[in-house]
Chains A and B, each alone.
Chain A
Amino acid sequence: MSDSPMIRLDAVTKVFPGTDHPAVDRLTLEVAEGEVVVLVGPSGCGKTTTLKMINRLIEPTSGTITVAGADVTAVPAPELRRSIGYVIQQIGLFPHRTIADNIATVPRLLGWERPRIEARIDELIDLADLDPAMRDRYPSELSGGQRQRVGVARALAADPPVLLMDEPFGAVDPIVRARLQDELLDLQARLRKTIVLVTHDVDEAIKLGDRVAILNVGGVLEQYAPPAEILRSPADAFVEGFLGSDRGIKRLSLIAVRDATLVEGPIVDAAATAAEAGAAMAQHGLDWFGIRRGGLVVGWAAGSDLDGGAAPADLEPRPFATALGPDDSLRDALDAVITSHSRVAPVFDGARYLGMLTIEEISREIVQ
């Protein structure tokens, strides 16, 4: 990775004809190679204008923009755009072309040889986790999520170093959106593209961005930092207000369960006596206990199960309804903990029991 930024905006200003106030005002911003930068802000903050100035769909009024060290105005706009991937909310697949033809758009513009294009189509269909049978289908035959994947595949077709994404997941339902976000992160982990993504959704920004640029109305950059830093110390009242009162909770999504402090919890061996189980429960203030058999925590039993004078060994362990993994965020953990009546959730790494996450531990992270 070189020291010079992949994308650099230098005092870029855009004033649309017929308006007094600039949409973007002397914006200076650098995006390092291989990082995901999310532009976020309220409507009218110029985030989309900024994005479109990078591939010259909008020409800046003043200032310069360089991509990979070269001024974007050095080559004709269409040529520039062929070297930059572009994904928009409406996706904009060509309805009269098959999925394969849609994906082949930029390679064909670049004059690639046919076998190379065909191979690239196969590669991208695989990369985007699409059914190879979709190759010859038309966009109208696809679901919203599938179309979005094709849109990303199409943008990546000529393997551009830079990807611009304008509210890419704005048009799909929340469940699909979350899955597509995960897929993008997964893809990015493999491809290491330089991505600039625009969204109005703070949660999406926090989830996807290596760095987040918070823009205010009129294209003023309020804060540009990694999401954790922004959540921990908002630059000003605007950022704080924009993040919302649940900024502490939002921060949880950046912390993995493995980084939290876990407690052992009331776990007893299957061979233990009822009294030992009772003691373990009392120690943690819980009315249930976990049962370990052959080194593995296999389930749990309620304190009332011992009422008839039974020993833990006599009981059939009940499986845990909610269990966390080490890669889950504390935000996910919060849901699990709150929905469990005992305010704790067990954490497993595969079959291996790691410990219990308590509401107190999560609260400590929020206020930190």
Chain B
Amino acid sequence: MSFLGDVASWFGTAANWWGESGILNRVFEHVQLSAFTMAVALAVALPPALALGHRNRGGGLVVTVVNLGRAIPSFGILALALPFTIELARGIDLFGWEFSPISSGLGFWPTFVALLALAVPPIFANGFTAVRDVDPGTVEAARGMGLTERQILRSIEVPMAMPVVYAAMRVASVQVVATATLGALVAWGGLGRFIIDGFAQQDDVQVFAGAVLVALLAVATEALFAFGERWAIPRGIAGAGDRAAATAG
């Protein structure tokens, strides 16, 4: 049988879909980790990025941090994070109070750290520049009409920055989904499992099927964001997102 035929029959095998190492569970694990990472990345990166962008302070710092973040490969961060997460799982002693903040130092958490380091820089950088680059005339008009600084940020700058911020979220999410495969190296599940196990077992069909699944999930993520754009980008400035997408990459 041809290779593609083998791949097709792999997908056609019910056993490959169900159970702990089945496609459905792997997709769930993959999405779970990716979504959690994006949620934390947004929570961690956006507020300071937007606040700094509003004041136009710390631009140099932003560039440095972001470039540093981009320079270190995800795999390197994974390797660096692993000893720390294992230590955390073993337990820490906080002024005599011993506890384990996480139950396992393998799998989820080191991968999460690596993905967080991947997702934060583009969100942070684009959040910062998007707010900083909001038309100064609009901001001056808002201030001149008596909006407080907080109101300016929340109701003027953030909506106007949305196309760029949203594009950055979109790019970061796709990167996170694609890179979450690395988790399989440190015993996390997800779709990377098929690739890593398939490679170790020299099972090309499984490797290929895993790669296809990752690509499909990345495309699905793109599509989800494309669908959500209408909802997330305020009317009146829609269309600006196409220009923004180019700068967010």
Contacts and interface: CB of A to CB of B under 8 A. Distances in A.
A82 B144 CA distance: 8
Contacts of B145: 81-82, 86, 105-106, 109, 154-155
Interface stretch (A92-100, A224-232, A291-299): A92-100
B161 to A, nearest CB: 10
A155 B151 CA distance: 18
B137 A55 contact: no
Contacts of A138: 235-236
A57 interface: yes
Interface in B210-241: 234-237
Contact of A79 (B140, B141, B144, B146): B146
Contact of A92 (B141, B151, B159, B237): B141
A339 interface: no
B236 A98 contact: yes
Contact of A94 (B138, B144, B146): B138
Interface in B93-117: none
Given A98-B236, A138-B235, A139-B236, A93 B138 contact: yes
B109 to A, nearest CB: 39
A109 B152 CA distance: 12
A139 B135 CA distance: 14
B57 interface: no
A88 B136 CA distance: 11
Interface in B117-176: 135-148, 151, 156, 159-160, 162
Contact of B159 (A96, A105, A151): A96
A140 interface: yes
A106 B236 CA distance: 20
A88 B137 contact: yes
B98 to A, nearest CB: 50
A154 B142 CA distance: 11
A64 B40 CA distance: 49
Interface string B187-215: 00000000000000000000000000000
Given A78-B146, A81-B144, A96 B235 contact: yes
Contacts of B138: 90, 92-95
B141 A91 contact: yes
Interface in A98-114: 98, 105-106, 109
A86 B141 contact: yes
Contacts of B156: 94
B235 A82 contact: no
Residue among B141, B145, B162 with max Cβ neighbours from chain A (10 Å): B145
Contacts, number: 77
Interface string A189-202: 00000000000000
A98 B237 CA distance: 11
A366 interface: no
B146 A92 contact: no
Interface residues of A, number: 30
Contacts of B160: 94-96
A184 interface: no
Nearest to A79: B146
A151 B137 CA distance: 12
B144 A55 contact: yes
Contacts of A88: 137, 140-141, 144
A59 B159 CA distance: 29
A350 B51 CA distance: 62
B130 to A, nearest CB: 13
A79 to B, nearest CB: 7
A93 to B, nearest CB: 7
Given A55-B144, A78-B146, A90 B236 contact: no
B147 A90 contact: no
A80 interface: yes
A95 B236 contact: yes
Contact of B141 (A78, A90, A96, A109): A90
B230 to A, nearest CB: 14
Given A94-B156, A96-B235, A96-B236, A57 B143 contact: yes
B150 to A, nearest CB: 10
Interface centre among A81, A89, A95 (most CB of B within 10 A): A95
A82 B145 CA distance: 5
Contacts of B140: 57, 88, 90, 92
Contact of A106 (B135, B143, B146, B234): B146
A94 B160 CA distance: 8
13 contacts: A57-B143, A78-B148, A79-B146, A88-B141, A90-B140, A91-B141, A92-B137, A93-B138, A94-B156, A95-B138, A105-B145, A106-B146, A109-B145
Interface of B: 135-148, 151, 156, 159-160, 162, 234-237
Given A81-B143, A82-B145, A138-B236, 6 more contacts: A78-B146, A78-B148, A80-B146, A88-B137, A90-B140, A96-B160
Interface of A: 55, 57, 78-83, 86, 88-98, 105-106, 109, 138-140, 151, 154-155, 164
Closest 6 CB pairs of A and B: A92-B141, A90-B137, A82-B146, A138-B236, A86-B144, A96-B234
